[in-house]
Structure 1
Amino acid sequence: MIFNFKFYSLVAFFIILNMICVRAQTYKLQGSVSFDHSKTSSVTIALSPVSMKVHTDTAGNFMFLGLKEAVYQIKATAIGYKPALFTLALKSDTVLKEIVLEEDQEQLQEVVITGTQKEVSRLESPVPVEIYSANFFKRNPAASVFEALQNINGVRPQLNCNICNTGDIHINGLEGPYTMVLIDGMPIVSGLSTVYGLSGIPTSIIERVEVVKGPASSLYGSEAVGGLINIITKKVSSAPKFSVDLMSNTHLEHNADLGFKLQLNSKVSVLTGINYFNFNKILDRNQDHFTDMTLQNRIALFQKWNIERRQNRVFSLAARYLYEDRWGGETRWNKSYRGGDEVYGESIYTSRWEMVGNYQLPLKEKTFLAFSLTQHNQNSRYGETSYIAKQQIAFSHLTWDKKINQHDLLFGAAVRYTFYKDNTMATNKEYGNDHEKVWLPGLFVQDEIRFNQKNTLLLGLRYDYHSLHGSIFTPRLAYKYSLNQFNSLRFNAGTGFRVVNIFTEDHAALTGARKVEVNTKIRPERNYNVNVNYAAKIFTPDATIIGLDVSLFYAYFTNRIVPDYESDVTKIRYDNLNGYAINKGVTANLDLTFTWGLKLNTGITYQDVSLVNDGIKQQQMLTEKFSGTWSVSYHIKPLHLKADYTGNIYGAMRLPLLSELDPRNPISPVWSIQNIQLTFTKFKRAEIYGGVKNLLNFNPAKHAPFLISRSQDPFNKNVVFDSKGQALPTADNPYGLVFDPSYVYAPNQDIRLFVGFRYNF
């Protein structure tokens, strides 16, 4: 018995010891990481749920020791590569199959062309360029590019009329005429089209939008004073065979975008985009008997041809046609009242076509001939005022791209021809000028000098000869210092020159009942501007991407041309400032991308845009001191759902009043437009989306006793004027006002629901 007891005790001891050893046994996990089968060092390998991390050595190898039997999640992350994520059930010592990382094109290879007219990496460009992809605009879908730009920091679509809702694009506080808009690098929006040309660009053909804030005149000419917006269309080869995007809202605004491509033969392919927008519901929520929103019927057609050539030389052609019929005014208006003085309405018929092309010459040297042609016809009635205008612009430039050692040279010759004719005092036989023709030939040279990996200097000089104003020189300097691959400091400086055509640029000159006075000796504007930019991209060990972009800007203007609304409320007087203007401020963007599905983009701009006239300093009319934008996106993968929350906020603006008795506030309130959207993504090629626009239900009519002055008397038939033409206070008109719709700073829209459908094949 004693023997048996000792024997069984010994057996039990060894069994327990074995169990302890088995439970305490640990394993080894090892492997290697490469990119394109080349070993990659400095890769972070994270193991969860044990929260262990190691880094690969110079040979790309890594190892974990002391691991227990369990199920582990392994994540491999590195700067410039997409994270690799997989699960492993560890039961013994394991050697993983080689992990091959894929380069993240979005992080490293964003290619821009706008800053230097060359395709370069965004990180290497000496000119700061902001990129906004088509997906960025899908977070808050809009019926036009004009509306879509509201979510870009420092860029604000400004409405200029409460009746016809036309507007322009402000960049860092500078009005629309200082902003050049391009399609594929060629100018298409200027003059008349500053007001109307941003409508009807089909979003189905947009690849991305590049924004340059600051001087660009030495490459693009005098209109690129404040910055430029370059709409890059999709390459035909990468566009879907067919796409559709349909959207409607509870205001009964309907928008349709269609896109499709055809391969005509082995060398010729065609991309076509069609946009149709319709809004035909009369809304008058503030009960002033005027439409709150302009009614529109618009169609636009776009087509891009790509022709393959030997040695991959470039040859592309694109064309767009736009027709738009819009009107706003008294709710009882119809087309039988067009141009009369019985019922007030603003009716605008716009017919416009554009063509752009790029052809690489069959030479050994890298030489390109690019051109754009536009024709804009407008037939408008603003009450009794008729505005019939035609504008034709032809633009072409020849560039030679040449690299010599550390010098990357660009030589160019450009010519621009503008024909303009209307029935105003600008070009009218009664004023001795039937039409206006302007030739603007020019030469430019740019030298990008790359001293080393850290230092790049860009020098540019442009000479133009204006047929009316003579020689124009616009120099440019840009310097980039790279602290490392993802941290850079940029300095840009340049000058600009602008000749003003009031009736094509300032809609207030036509709408309402004010008379226009123009000094016949207006001198061209000249400005000098500087921009300092710091950009950084940070990659954390858990693959979170942090992007930071901060800019300081300063611009000084001489001979600034401004409209005077205040010295005589019955008139708008245009003249040069007897002084100067300054535009200065700071703008910052922060982007966060988390691996678990959250993306955050936010930006803020503070600016001081002031005019000094006869020694008196004033804030520029309709210009905010600060603004901010944000976009928060989260992908709930188990539910196949994307959530987007977007918004903007604008500071107070100085508004145009009609007299000291005008009861409206001379300063606008701080206001914000916020939106939310849900997108269902379960289907492979289709998306269903919907949400709420103007979530806070902001409407400027809630903050003023009225927006349109004297809406009950739009032809001033019951206004009593004194001998100087000033409106006198009467029992019917206690504030001494005249009809005027220029008191506008924000869209006059309430909260609304929207729903849409996208399909790509």
Structure 2
Amino acid sequence: MKSYLLIILIFINFNCLHGQFIISGKVLNEKGSPIQNTNIKILDNNNGCITDEDGYYKLISKKKEFEIKISSIGFKTEIKKIIFYEKREIVTNFTLISDSYELEQIVVTGNTGEILKKKSVINVELIDKKFIDKIVSKNFADILNNVRGIQNRIDCGICGSSGIQINGMNSQYNLILIDNIPLINSLSKSYGLNSIPSSIIKQIEIIKGPSSILYGSEAISGVINIITKDRKDLSRVNFNSYMSSIFEISNDITIFNEGKLFDILLNFNSFNFQKFTDNNNDNFSDLPLINRYTSFNKILFNRKSKKKFNLSTKFYLEDRFGCTNRYEEYSQGNDSIYGEDIETKKIEIYLNYDFNFIEKLEFNSGLDYHYQSSYYGYNYFKANQISYFNQLIFKKKINENIISLGVNHSIINYNDNSNLSLIDRVQNVTSLFAQNEIKSLYPINLLFGMRIDFHQNHNKIFSPRFNIKYDFKNNSSIRINSGSGFRIVNIFSEEHALLSGSKSVEISDDIDPEKSINMNINYTLPFDKIKFEIDLFLNKFFNKIIPNFQLNVDKIVFENLKGNSISKGLTFKYDIFFNRFINFSNSISFLKIKTINNYILINELFIPSFSSLYNLTYKKNKFEMNIYGKFTGPMYLPKFEVEPHRKEISNLFGIHNLKLNKRIKNFLIYIGIENFFNYSQKNPLIDPNASENSETGESWNEGFSPNFDTSYIYSPLFGRKIIFGINIVL
């Protein structure tokens, strides 16, 4: 009986196997590397599988003829017809062709080395050359104004100084790097952001959230890393020139030469605008008059080991001037004709070097000299700053652990002609850091680390960091980033309001350093033609230093919060690829900040409650059209007790732009329209007119009123501009 039963089971099993057709193999990219998490489905019944980390798949079908769909984010979707002839089991590999630049995007920020963006534990937002070419941009500051969660806010209605906000936190809470070296700080953040022309930028990498381990404990809101162009990004000659409808003129030339010992990049950029404009009829220039010159040189040494040895220098000279309509009569320090005249000079040196004698030992070093000579009305302000940074990083892979150890040393030597004693004129910080990335727990990746800063006035400062990434089977992933920050404040170099306008300044006698704890969560869900992304963030500050405009309308009071400040927000983004010609992206960001001082709620100023960016691209053959723009939601504004009264909450507004590109052989001709619907803020200056006090008999000229203020800026001060340009590549 048992024998009969065994024979029946074998017969049933044979017939089951006989009715199955099995196909297996690997899914590879164009370079022959396996593609993980690729979806393979049988079209008539939706049965399928997902490739493993080796790209391996296995499908079982009851039919000997069927179609399968092979799809993976960043690649063109393939439909293949499978036919079984004599064999019931076949092995075949499939090669997918890259359809999106994302899969090949390489990032370095926060990772102590190059890594595919998709595989990075840290969520890095990458602004590449394709994005930069879509928009009208002269320099780094222009580019950032078109990135989600970032505001390039104008601080002054006369000289046009600006600052970068990340997730509602002002520029002093972020670090800006050039080739992994943080030299744009304090004084440089007001006028130095325009010193980096778009033409030398390969890509911009942005980490939102705590990033203190590698670069410094003051990287509270995030890190922006500018990666300059390398050999493979350069042609022999690249010339770009444009003129706007208001006679802004920009010229840029890059020359690249390959040599036996080294290759060299030479770049020269100029921007000139000398036309006085006053469309709002307040007798002051709407835009500052500017002469700006930048020279950037990069030497890339050719070593037998193929390891990196780059030496870069940058020279920057700018003269910007804002004044009344009597600008032709103006002289520096004039006490009857108000003007703001700022001269800036910068010299920067960058070194990136990989040692030969140790497998992965990298040295980064930088030196920056920043000089500013300026007049704000009849007030003369002179400052210079020397920043010096050294970093040594050792990286070692042990099994599935990537361990990074390093030491930083930075010096910021700041001097000015003010008498504010609360400024640390010299900041000397030595830091040790260590982090470990664990890859053995797939689909979980972990990264954690610790940084210790030894500060001359604050002893040891500990800054931990923890990151986790989980990859789901549907190709989606979640990243969690948490950490803490610590910041020494240089009030005078960071607050333009101290220099411009007529308000007096009061500073608390016992200001303590700021501290924060932060968390960011990112979830990404890709499909064939659409990609969704959600960001959540939470930041909590202790000892936060705020410029309080609300305690006294005639003063700006700087003090530590006697309480705390919490900022939280959400950003939702989606990208739609309709076909190979048309794609659309949109992001919506919501932000809420709650600041309590002495049990009193303080409204944070100039921080929009929400913003939204969009970009529609049509590209066919050698023609490209980009329509892009930004909506900015309401924000709290300073209160002024002068006539006419200004609103204390701004309205929603939108700025919309258009750029058309047409390539003809080595020529690219482009036309751009900035601020298509001609929106601009009316009456941004507070009490700018000449007048007198009938009670005291005191009189004053334009710009010298006791209530004069230039900080009431929440939107563009100038309307529509048309730009025509040409780019020649040889």
TM-score of the alignment, normalized to the shorter chain, above 0.5: yes
Residue pair 2:157, 2:711 contacting (<8 A) in 1 also: yes
Kindly indicate whether residue 610 of structure 2 is the aligned counterpart of residue 641 of structure 1.
no
Determine if the alignment matches structure 1 residue 135 to structure 2 residue 130.
yes
Structure 1 stretch displaced more, 560-569 or 149-158: 560-569
Aligned position for 2:498: 509
Structure 1 distance, partners of 2:700, 2:321, is 32
Mark the CA change 1:489 to 1:732 in structure 2 (over 3 Å): closer, same or farther.
same
Pairing partner for 2:175 from 174, 180, 184: 180
Contact (CA 8 Å) 2:363, 2:392: kept in 1 or not? yes
**CA RMSD, aligned part only?**
3.4
Contact 1:607 1:626 in 2 (8 A): yes
Q: Which residue in the other structure is 1:6 paired with? A: none
User: Secondary structure of 2:677's partner?
Assistant: coil
Separation in structure 2 between the aligned mates of residue 240 and residue 39 of structure 1, nearest angstrom = 29
Indicate conservation of the 8 Å contact 1:285/1:292, yes or no: yes
State the 1:660 CA deviation: 7.3
> Within the alignment, does 1:213 sit opposite 2:208 as a pair?
yes
Q: Is the 8 A contact 1:677 1:692 kept in 2?
A: yes
Please name the residue that 2:665 is paired with.
684
Q: Report the CA distance between 1:251 and its aligned residue.
A: 1.3
Alignment of 1:92-103 (within 5 A): 101-103=96-98
Matched, 1:417 2:402: no
Alpha-carbon offset, residue 603 of structure 1 = 0.9
The answer on 1:288 being equivalent to 2:282 is: yes
Q: CA deviation at 1:160?
A: 0.5
C-alpha distance in 2 between matches for 1:177 and 1:40:
43
Report how far residue 80 of structure 1 moved.
5.6
Q: Deviations over 1:341-388 (max 9, x none)?
A: 010000000000111111112223311111111000000000011110
Matched, 1:488 2:502: no
SS in structure 1 of the partner of residue 143 of structure 2: helix
Query: Which sections of structure 1, spanning at least 5 residues, go unmatched?
Result: 1-31, 67-73, 87-97
- 1:760 partnered with 2:729: yes
Give SS of 2:193's match: coil
What secondary structure does 1:410 align onto? Answer: strand
Match of 1:584 in 2: 568
Cα–Cα, structure 1 residues 55 and 490, in superposed 2: closer, same or farther, change >3 Å?
A: closer
Q: 1:347 aligns with which of 335, 341, 345?
A: 341
Change (3 A) 1:410 1:744: same
Unaligned runs of 5+ in 2: 1-25, 50-55, 80-92
Quick one: which of 443, 446, 456 aligns to 2:432?
A: 443
Contact 1:411-1:444 within 8 A present in 2 as well: yes
User: Are the aligned partners of 2:337 and 2:701 in contact in 1 as well (CA < 8 Å)?
Assistant: no
Alignment of 1:118-157 (within 5 A): 118-157=113-152
Counterpart residue number, 1:519:
508
1:161-560 aligned at under 5 Å gives the runs: 161-265=156-260, 267-334=261-328, 336-426=330-420, 436-484=425-473, 486-539=475-528, 544=529, 546-560=530-544
Q: Which amino acid aligns with 1:219?
A: L
After TM superposition, the structure 1 stretch with the greater mean CA deviation from structure 2, 333-342 or 348-357, is 333-342
Aligned-pair distance for 1:270? 0.7
Alpha-carbon distance between aligned partners in 2 of 1:644 and 1:271, rounded to the nearest angstrom:
30
- State, as a whole percentage, how many aligned pairs show the same letter: 30
Displacement of 1:675: 0.3
Look up the equivalent residue of 1:314 and give its one-letter code.
K
1:696 — aligned with what? 677
Post-superposition CA distance 1:520-559 (Å, at most 9, x none)? 31111001111111112222xxxx3x22221110011011
CA distance in structure 2 between the partners assigned to 1:134 and 1:592 by the alignment: 20
Asked whether 1:708 is paired with 2:692, we answer no
- Tell me, yes or no, if the aligned pair for 2:627 and 2:659 is still in contact at 8 Å: yes
Counterpart residue number, 2:707:
738
Q: Distance in 1 between matches of 2:39 and 2:462?
A: 51
Q: Which residue is equivalent to 1:674?
A: 656
- The equivalent of 2:692 in structure 1 is 718
Cα distance in 2 between the residues matched to 1:59 and 1:480: 27
Mark the CA change 1:308 to 1:515 in structure 2 (over 3 Å): closer, same or farther.
same
Alignment TM-score, normalising by the size of structure 1: 0.83
Q: Does the Cα contact within 8 Å between 2:640 and 2:646 map onto a contact in 1?
A: no
Q: Are positions 1:658 and 2:640 aligned together?
A: yes
Secondary structure of 1:281's aligned partner = coil
Instruction: State the Cα distance separating 1:101 from its structure 2 match.
Output: 4.6
User: In structure 2, what is the Cα distance between the partners aligned to 1:561 and 1:370?
Assistant: 32
Deviation, structure 1 residue 242: 1.1
- Note if contact 1:245-1:756 (Cα within 8 Å) is conserved in structure 2: yes
The amino acid that maps onto 1:204 is S
Whether the aligned pair in 1 keeps the contact of 2:158 and 2:286 (CA below 8 Å) is: yes
Paired amino acid for 2:679: F
Map Cα deviations across residues 437-465 of structure 1 (whole Å, 9 max, x no partner): 22100100011112322111111100001
Cα deviation, residue 610, structure 1 = 2.5
Structure 2: distance between partners of 1:659 and 1:81:
56
**SS at 1:603 equivalent:** strand
Query: What CA distance in whole angstroms lies between the structure 2 residues aligned with 1:335 and 1:412?
Result: 56
Question: TM-score, structure 2 length as denominator?
Answer: 0.87
CA contact (8 A) 2:680 2:717 kept: yes
Q: Indicate if the aligned counterparts of 1:202 and 1:273 stay in contact, CA closer than 8 A.
A: no
Q: Which amino acid aligns with 2:559?
A: D
Q: Which amino acid aligns with 1:667?
A: I
Q: 1:507 to 1:75 in 2, by over 3 A?
A: farther
1:39, 1:59 within 8 Å by CA — same for their partners in 2?
no
* Cα drift, residue 519 of structure 1: 1.7
Flag the 1:171–1:40 CA change in 2: closer, same or farther, 3 A: closer
User: For residues 460 and 441 of structure 1, what CA distance do their matches in structure 2 show?
Assistant: 17
Q: How many angstroms apart in 2 are the aligned matches of 1:34 and 1:633?
A: 29
Cα separation, partners in 2 of 1:492 and 1:59, compared to 1, 3 Å: closer
Corresponding residue number in structure 2 for 1:110: 105
Matched, 1:608 2:599: no
Map of 2:3 onto structure 1: none
Separation of aligned partners in 1, 2:100 and 2:357? 31
Q: Is the 8 A contact 2:437 2:445 kept in 1?
A: yes
Aligned to 1:571: 555
Contact 1:372 1:395 (C-alpha < 8 Å) held by counterparts:
yes
Provide the C-alpha distance between the structure 2 equivalents of 1:719 and 1:75, rounded to a whole number of angstroms.
84
SS in 2 for 1:127: coil
| CA drift at 1:334 | 4.0
Is the contact between residue 451 and residue 463 of structure 2 (CA under 8 Å) also seen in structure 1?
Answer: yes
In the alignment, the residues of structure 1 paired with residue 694 and residue 365 of structure 2 have an alpha-carbon distance, to the nearest angstrom, of: 54
Distance 1:118 1:732, change over 3 A: closer
Corresponding letter in the other structure for 1:684: K
Deviation at 1:202, TM superposition (A): 2.1
Q: How many pairs were matched up?
A: 681
Q: CA deviation at 1:396?
A: 0.6
Deviation at 1:186? 0.8
Question: What whole-Å deviation, never above 9, does each CA across 1:194-231 have from its counterpart, x for those lacking one?
Answer: 11111131212211111111000122113311011111
CA contact (8 A) 1:651 1:671 kept: yes
- What is the alpha-carbon distance in structure 2 between the residues aligned to residue 363 and residue 564 of structure 1? 54
Distance 1:457-1:505 versus aligned 2 partners, 3 A rule: same
Larger radius of gyration: 1
Separation in 1 of the partners of 2:414 and 2:27? 64
